[in-house]
Structure 1
Amino acid sequence: MKTRFPLLFLLCLLLAGPFTPAQAQDSPRLVIDTGGHQAKIKDVLFTPDGKRLISVSNDKTIRIWDVQSGEPVRTLRGQMGEGDEGKLYAGALSPDGRWLAVGGMLADNPHDGSAIRLMDLQGPADAPVRLLQGHTNVVLSLAFSPDGGRLLSGSGDNTARLWDVESGKALAVLRGHTDHIYAVAFSPDGGRLVTGSDDDTLRLWAAPGRSGTRARLVAELTGHTDDVSAAAFTPDGNHLLSGSWDKTIRLWDGREGGFIKELADIGYWAGSLSVSPDGKKVLVSCGGGGCSSNPEKVFSLPSGKRLLRFDRHDNIVLATAISPDGRLAATGGGGDHEIILWDLATGKVRHTLVGKGSPIWSVGFARDGGGLAWGNENTQYVFFDKGPLQHRFQLRRAGLSADRKGAALESGAPSRTALESGAPSRAAPEGGAPGSAALQGGISGNGAAFDPGWGGPVEGEGPMNRHYLRAIETVGATRIRTANGQVHPTLEILENGQVRHRITLGPTDGYDHRSLTLTPDGRTVISGKMGGVLTSYDVASGKKLREFTGHTGDVWAVAPSPDGRWLVSGSADQTARLWEIETGRPLLTIFAANDNEWVAWTPEGYYTASLNGGRLIGWHMNQGEERLARYYPAERFAKQFRQPRVVAHYLATGGDLERAIALANQEAPRQGRVKKTTATDLLALAPPMVTILEPNDSPFTTGQSRLDLIAEARSVNQEPVKEIWVTVNGRNPGQQGERYPRDKRRRVRLDVKLALDPGENRVAVYAKNRHGQSEPEMLTVNRAEPRPDPDRPNLYLLAVGVSDYANPYYRDLDYADDDARAMARILRGQQGRLYGRVSARLLTDKQADRGGVLDGLDWLLRESTKRDVSVIFVAGHGQNDGRGGYYFLPHDVEPGKLRRTGVKWIEFQDTLEQLPGTRWLLADTCHSGGVTGKPSPTGRGEADITEALRELKEAVGGVVIMAAAGSREWSLEDPRWRHGAFTKALVEGLEEGLADFPPPDRRVDIKELDLYITQRVKELTGGRQHPMTEIPRMAPNFPVALVGAR
């Protein structure tokens, strides 16, 4: 038997250590939210109307998606703990769409076994969760009866149970299987049940009645020669299909269980089966055994003729579903844990539902101790070298190796000025560790050298670089390997070519060795394993030293620091983590999204991040097993926990939080002092919970011009609700919300009439207490317009570009003025097309003095109306004042007189807050997106616009922000482009129409433009510049240009 579920309930308990009651574990914990799944997807389920898709995953989340748009609608989280507690392995939806059942590792102690959670999807968001308890091991499969009144569950305890949904009582326990039950199903009339097991058999049962009759075994179905992984009845109930790890699909009599035929030899282990509503097709997925070359397949029933191959996934797929109308298939799996919606007849992809991360296959530690690197490609198929290093993360400061001028890259290839490529080496480094003091703990004042953050692409040819230390295979006479040189349960430690120790794993300690390294002194070996298990062993004795607890997915890569004190690891959970080897203590977790947003955090929750990186993590707050958990993006508590200098000093002091805060406070102005906050403190700070009571459907279409909205805000702690308010398409619709005095009001209501715009309206309701505001509760309303409005909106543009500064001190830009001219030309070209009138105020060089810029902002406020689009484009230098303020530098700025001669960023922020209508900011201020602590191209001063943009998006809702470069990057310009890379991409995307992605519709919307700019700037600069964009959830997608011939 192949072990599909190696980390059983026993492993969950062993790794968790001594039992602690759940109520003692309810301190909030930071978790990643990439917008998609991060671990195996176990089930996908269409709602009865086909409008929603529900996905259930090992990552402990349930996600609900809109089928038409592919957009996420809602994420459900339940009680969870460290390690495996809370992992989901099965899901089922009642035929009426009301009840969602999920099962998995849901026990909180070794006595209760594993519960099934039953959630009412049609009830209020905070409705209780019902628990069905009785299984003594993990629940692996679930199915509702056709009438929705009964639920069938299969478990790792080798039994199946039949439950009454209304009462929650077990109607029957089905015994007889001798191994885990991964497949259960009801016949269409509810009279038959089937169970499929890892004992290679299926069992067909006569369902018991509610009057107390027992389930009766009709037949034992034998013939498969390996685990039975899937089973499904045809809609008429006449046939039963089964899928197995023996790589076959078998067809059986659905009423008596007789074998009919082998329907197909599929060439891989069957992962999941779905039968179309008309009973003419069966979809089977690859659950292992060569999925990269054997895609999902569709067969005709009952002939077994292959109709279609679907090859868009690159790894195992354990979840399939077919829509109620039989047109769409949903398959969940692959290396990125994606869900693909595709046409069942043609294989054409409709949507790919996927998060922003990717598994990490390779890691390295900079030999100077200054940073880490990792890669997301598995290309080498060599145990110690699975793929190239692609991305850098800086731990301490280093000088930039390029300036904005002369940044052209030949043929788009990355520059190799700072690093030289070299031959890979898996031997220990010779001599000392250059710069190894970078992470020495307890060195007072060393935090000034630290500046943790994104470092850009790894430069240098080849999969490895001599400036990075990878996994060490050999130190002197000591060598490590697995028994077969690949992933294997046995690790061998050799001395002078002879095996000295063998360490063989089982289902309770990681199952197999997936990555290995020696420490540079050859005394310790570290092994990464399945399921997030990471362990160190003593080379001399072969005994286990300690566990490194934190990863939740297979650990595919490990590498030590040159001094042997620290370890970096990379995992299928899409994170890289920094550890202290001697103690196993975590120091830093890093997640980098594929859109170049990133976040890094300490175990206590203090973090540093890119512009939108705070959205990638959040605080999970358990509410007990009978309630859904609450979740707050980390941005909600940014005031307490977004502390880059604390993170820097935390690394410098080797993880001493108290000292890190004290050192950060010595550097900070009084108003910026950090007060120590623990995760438990967040329970008292949490903002109110918002619920929209009426209307209770979203999205929906109306012919009315006004909407009656009733919403409620409820305090979740002792803090009273201070205010509740609503926005439409990111704008305040006129009323200023209901404000409440600081009294004992814990539950308040908002009842308003809202004016709707023609077309899509995104309505968002917020509430706040004195500590912060909630996430928006949203609904989408489409207002049908009986007659199209012939009047186009007007557009107002303020375009500012300064290259020729009055003071030579700042004259090192060539094309900022040309960038502003290009933006004005592009948008003026839309007059009479997308917009009725385009009014542009262009300020370049001498025109762009301080007074001119401020006058331009006033002009925008005077002219723009609710129907219009307002655009601000700024290109030139920016500078911080050392007190948390940021300034745009106009033509007449004077060194040393920033406050009097610069334009403070708050001027732009205030203007955007007051502007009605659609608002769009484009910022290219030389360090756009952030280069904290780096010298400007002139070598004078610092410029970091990140905090200014962050404050803008938090203070002013609904503004689309585009920043020219990512964190720690130059905003590059080149004589060949006669523009900055950012504006070059804007010209191509809007003026040349290259952002009109297939299928072309001769218009470019903001999301298309964002995608084109992101891809094109990366291409133009050889991966050295990555624009960042903020498109608020509450703002609808909108067109920015019509392209092609008039």
Structure 2
Amino acid sequence: MVWAVAVSADGRFLLSGSADQTVRLWNLRTRENLLTLFHGSNGEWVVWTNSGHYASSPNGDKMIGWQINKGVDKAADYISAAQLAQHFYRPDIINAAIKLGSTKQALAQAENTRFNLNLLTREIPPRFEIISPRSGTRATTGIVPVKLKIAANTVAIEKFMVYVNGREVTPHKIRKMRPFIQQHTKTIEVPLETGNNRITIKAKNSIGITSVQLNLQYAGASQIRQGNLHLLSIGISEYPNLDREQQLKFAAKDADAIHNLLQTQGKKLYRSIKATLVSDNRGTQPTKRNIEQALKQLGNAQKTDTTIIFLSGHGMNIGKDYYLIPRDAKRRGSEIDKNSLVSWQQIQNALVSGLGRKILLIDTCHAGNAFNPRLLKDSADQNIVVLSATDADNVSIEMERLGHGVFTYSLLKGLKGKADMFDEDYGKITFKELDAYVSLFVAQLTGDRQKTVSQAGIGGFKDFIFMQL
């Protein structure tokens, strides 16, 4: 049942609100249903096309999916959109459908849309469940054996990933296991922290990802102690092959300052620091090759370690993908050559190649078309904590009087003590404290022209100490 309709000012589109709590966008001339939107009472949302391609908030794609019928004598399978995100999370198709006024045209010009939903009648994401211990119980030992019952799968499971409160703790033998397809049980030894432990176990195959969760309380000493800090700071102000208006004043200086401060403060919190600076001013020059080499060094992080990447410079979107523009980016005609850029996929792969906690501080939206929602969604799915200088509706601002970009200036102030807001943790700055302080101070300095955005993983978030004064 349709409750309400509204026509756009130009007469091209119609919005309809229905009893099923969805809003649909229609092309009035062709009568094509372009998009359907659902916004939950919890703030999560998802918008999708009839082809199944969608955009969503970090948890929004758990609210829709496909029921796969297997005949009258068998129970149907349900597969959520979140499980098939690698195929169907496509904000670029959603944007194109609106701009073109046609989902069919948007799909025709998009790349990598060949995955066929009919395949799900034969091949589905991994099937497994936790059979012990029971969620909500108390653990008596700091290393708990989690027993999985793995069903017979039609597609080989390629890997498992294990997280405790957002920190990856996948055991070495699990990371190195060979793909398998047969039904069996598997036990994974999982270390616990003192207090509540949100354990997430993910399994991946070529079709998609299945995720299950378990909550345990543990009163003993934490088995996940603070390890080493792996720090990579990248700052690019100078672009010799780009136009004068694309040069930046403070990006390299921002990276230098953050790099120095995190090294100094990190000595009070971490056992050791493995730091790499890739900057116009100091360290290694921020060329594509040097950035890629620096990213490869992050794969050695262990389960007790923390990896932080700070990015400052220009970013851009090409199609559905986000790219960091290195110092030696080249033009091909009037466009920047994609092959001379560093892709978000490379950055993400570098972060997830190691274990432990992963943090991304990003200030690369100095121009229009630089914010990409895929970066935040992918980060949430990979348990990467993100603090970004901007959201989709504004750009990152540099201020001469501050001597830094506004985001970095606020980060520096916060990390030097301004973000330490709670007496019970005096001298320790948590991520939530830093996020709150930077968000408010950036908005204050810019008169709300710039707003930060953060992403702290899906399935709940347990705050952690970011730095110690």
Query: For this structure pair, what is the TM-score category when the shorter chain's length is used for normalisation?
Result: 0.7 to 0.9
Q: Which residue of 1 aligns with 2:131?
A: 693
Q: How big is each residue's C-alpha offset from its partner over 1:165-210, in whole Å with a ceiling of 9 and x where there is no partner?
A: xxxxxxxxxxxxxxxxxxxxxxxxxxxxxxxxxxxxxxxxxxxxxx
Q: What letter is aligned with 1:802?
A: I
Q: Which residue of 1 aligns with 2:238?
A: 804
Q: How big is each residue's C-alpha offset from its partner over 1:223-254, in whole Å with a ceiling of 9 and x where there is no partner?
A: xxxxxxxxxxxxxxxxxxxxxxxxxxxxxxxx
Q: Structure 2 length normalisation: TM-score?
A: 0.77
- 3-state SS of 1:776 partner: strand
- 3-state SS of 2:347 partner: helix
Q: Which residue of 2 aligns with 1:827?
A: 262
Pick one of 323, 333, 351 that aligns with 1:912. Answer: 351
Q: Which residue of 2 aligns with 1:857?
A: 295
Q: What letter is aligned with 1:812?
A: Q
Q: Verify the 8 A CA contact 2:169 2:303 in the aligned structure 1.
A: no
Q: Verify the 8 A CA contact 1:860 1:870 in the aligned structure 2.
A: yes
Q: Which residue of 2 aligns with 1:600?
A: 47
Q: 1:761 to 1:888 in 2, by over 3 A?
A: same
Q: Structure 1 length normalisation: TM-score?
A: 0.38
Q: Which residue of 1 aligns with 2:395?
A: 970
Q: Which residue of 2 aligns with 1:771?
A: 207
How far is the alpha carbon of 1:639 from its aligned partner? 4.2
Q: 1:582 to 1:866 in 2, by over 3 A?
A: closer
Q: Verify the 8 A CA contact 2:160 2:201 in the aligned structure 1.
A: yes
- 3-state SS of 1:804 partner: coil
Q: Verify the 8 A CA contact 1:690 1:766 in the aligned structure 2.
A: no
Matches within 5 A, 1:727-806: 727-729=162-164, 730-736=168-174, 741-742=180-181, 745=182, 747-756=183-192, 761-782=197-218, 784-785=220-221, 793-806=227-240
- 3-state SS of 1:735 partner: helix
Partners of 2:330 and 2:360 lie apart in 1 by 26
- 3-state SS of 2:131 partner: strand
1:813 matches 2:238 = no
Matches within 5 A, 1:510-525: none
Partners of 1:605 and 1:1024 lie apart in 2 by 35
- 3-state SS of 2:391 partner: coil
Q: How big is each residue's C-alpha offset from its partner over 1:865-911, in whole Å with a ceiling of 9 and x where there is no partner?
A: 4433221101001245x576654233333334846754444443343
Q: Verify the 8 A CA contact 2:198 2:213 in the aligned structure 1.
A: no
How far is the alpha carbon of 1:580 from its aligned partner? 6.2
Number of residue pairs the alignment of both structures matches: 454
Q: Which residue of 2 aligns with 1:641?
A: 88
1:1040 matches 2:466 = yes
- 3-state SS of 2:276 partner: strand
Q: Which residue of 2 aligns with 1:960?
A: 385
Partners of 2:179 and 2:291 lie apart in 1 by 39
Say which structure is richer in helix: 2
Q: What letter is aligned with 1:964?
A: A
Q: How big is each residue's C-alpha offset from its partner over 1:254-279, in whole Å with a ceiling of 9 and x where there is no partner?
A: xxxxxxxxxxxxxxxxxxxxxxxxxx
Partners of 2:261 and 2:10 lie apart in 1 by 55
Partners of 2:50 and 2:194 lie apart in 1 by 48
How far is the alpha carbon of 1:708 from its aligned partner? 1.9
Q: What letter is aligned with 2:431?
A: I
Q: Verify the 8 A CA contact 2:316 2:323 in the aligned structure 1.
A: yes
Q: Verify the 8 A CA contact 1:870 1:918 in the aligned structure 2.
A: yes
How far is the alpha carbon of 1:793 from its aligned partner? 3.4
Matches within 5 A, 1:5-154: none
- 3-state SS of 2:240 partner: coil
Pick one of 611, 614, 619 that aligns with 2:65. Answer: 619
Q: How big is each residue's C-alpha offset from its partner over 1:350-406, in whole Å with a ceiling of 9 and x where there is no partner?
A: xxxxxxxxxxxxxxxxxxxxxxxxxxxxxxxxxxxxxxxxxxxxxxxxxxxxxxxxx
Q: 1:583 to 1:888 in 2, by over 3 A?
A: closer
Partners of 2:173 and 2:32 lie apart in 1 by 52
Q: Verify the 8 A CA contact 1:989 1:996 in the aligned structure 2.
A: no
- 3-state SS of 1:751 partner: strand
Partners of 1:695 and 1:893 lie apart in 2 by 52
Pick one of 150, 170, 175 that aligns with 1:713. Answer: 150
Pick one of 960, 974, 991 that aligns with 2:416. Answer: 991
Partners of 1:901 and 1:1039 lie apart in 2 by 37
For structure 1, list consecutive stretches of 5 or more residues without a partner in the other structure: 1-14, 16-532, 536-557, 928-935
Q: What letter is aligned with 1:773?
A: I
Q: 1:674 to 1:559 in 2, by over 3 A?
A: same
Q: 1:631 to 1:814 in 2, by over 3 A?
A: farther
Q: Verify the 8 A CA contact 1:618 1:631 in the aligned structure 2.
A: no
Q: What letter is aligned with 1:607?
A: Y
Partners of 1:796 and 1:696 lie apart in 2 by 35
Pick one of 983, 996, 1003 that aligns with 2:428. Answer: 1003
How far is the alpha carbon of 1:751 from its aligned partner? 2.2
How far is the alpha carbon of 1:693 from its aligned partner? 1.0
RMSD: 4.4
Pick one of 716, 720, 725 that aligns with 2:160. Answer: 725
Q: Which residue of 2 aligns with 1:184?
A: none
Pick one of 22, 25, 35 that aligns with 1:578. Answer: 25
Q: Verify the 8 A CA contact 2:235 2:286 in the aligned structure 1.
A: no
- 3-state SS of 2:221 partner: coil
Pick one of 861, 875, 878 that aligns with 2:312. Answer: 875
Q: 1:1009 to 1:690 in 2, by over 3 A?
A: farther
Q: Verify the 8 A CA contact 1:636 1:774 in the aligned structure 2.
A: yes
Task: Report % sequence identity.
Answer: 29
Q: Verify the 8 A CA contact 2:68 2:120 in the aligned structure 1.
A: no
Q: Verify the 8 A CA contact 2:67 2:78 in the aligned structure 1.
A: yes
Q: 1:590 to 1:1018 in 2, by over 3 A?
A: farther
Q: 1:683 to 1:992 in 2, by over 3 A?
A: farther
Q: 1:1024 to 1:760 in 2, by over 3 A?
A: same
Q: 1:637 to 1:796 in 2, by over 3 A?
A: closer
How far is the alpha carbon of 1:803 from its aligned partner? 1.5
Q: Verify the 8 A CA contact 1:568 1:577 in the aligned structure 2.
A: yes
Q: 1:741 to 1:943 in 2, by over 3 A?
A: same
Q: 1:855 to 1:564 in 2, by over 3 A?
A: closer
Q: 1:573 to 1:741 in 2, by over 3 A?
A: closer
Pick one of 447, 456, 463 that aligns with 1:1031. Answer: 456
How far is the alpha carbon of 1:714 from its aligned partner? 3.3
Q: 1:700 to 1:960 in 2, by over 3 A?
A: same
Q: How big is each residue's C-alpha offset from its partner over 1:693-713, in whole Å with a ceiling of 9 and x where there is no partner?
A: 1111435242x3422221113
Q: Which residue of 2 aligns with 1:588?
A: 35
Q: What letter is aligned with 2:307?
A: S
Matches within 5 A, 1:350-369: none
- 3-state SS of 2:365 partner: coil
1:889 matches 2:325 = yes
- 3-state SS of 2:409 partner: helix
Q: Verify the 8 A CA contact 1:961 1:1031 in the aligned structure 2.
A: yes
How far is the alpha carbon of 1:750 from its aligned partner? 1.2
